[in-house]
Amino acid sequence: MVRDFYDDVVIELLRDGVLDTGMRVLVVCGGRTDRLVMERCGFRDVVISNLGVRPAGRDLGSFGWSEQDSERLGFDDESFDFVVVHSGLHHCYFVYRFTEREIVKTVHSYAPYARHDIRFFYRMRIPWGHLRLRRNRGLYLAVRLARPVLKLVEVCAPRQSNNFAALILKPDLSRTLHPWLRRTDGAVEVNSDWLATRYRTITAPRPSRQRS
């Protein structure tokens, strides 16, 4: 059950043309679950990364492996077409507030020079496996009875669901660069022509000489 939302988001992105099974994909904080999802969705060129010992061959399948710290990746820019992380918050050195607002704020703080395309997906994921293992069967039965209500919450108020995914697309600076900025030889700088058409130039007065 835990994998359903993961699969659904990847399949939706494939259907929308955001993803393509021919892309080179990096999975960070990855493992067996990621391998199964990527295989089911038809991806072929995937590198799964994580800290620690290399997983057994059956857990990687035909995919590659790289030992990587998710917060200090050692790959060069443009090495992959897409990067995926699933349930990786516990891999971080510090505890973060993992909310939509924090994601938007972090992305805009890292690259404030452009407009960003960020899309969220929501799902009410019920941990049936954990509930079945609890000695208190009452909680399991109560959640089963409440399932229609939880589904209604997911449909009518999706942001109240207990899981969400975020799609963050790298901005195309030819379309998304803020108008008061421009690119010159690959560098982003202030667009003085844009500013000149909207703001007056004010010349600071010269300081007067004081007679002794």
Give the model confidence (pLDDT) of 7-61 as tens digits. Answer: 999 999 999 999 999 999 999 999 888 999 999 999 999 999 998 877 777 778 8
Angle formed by the axes of helices 32-40 and 2-15, nearest 10°: 40
At 127 the pLDDT is 79
Same domain, 22 and 102: yes
Q: Is residue 145 part of a domain?
A: yes
At 140 the pLDDT is 82
Q: Is residue 57 part of a domain?
A: yes
For 13, the domain range is 2-126+163-178
| Length of the chain in terms of residues written | 212
Structure confidence at residue 70 as a pLDDT band (50, 70, 90) = confident
**CA 60 – CA 198 distance, rounded (Å):** 57
Q: Is residue 192 part of a domain?
A: no
Whole-structure pTM value: 0.78
**CA 49 – CA 80 distance, rounded (Å):** 13
Q: What share of the chain is helix, strand, coil (3-state, %, to 5)?
A: 35, 20, 40
**CA 194 – CA 133 distance, rounded (Å):** 63
> How many structural domains comprise the chain?
2
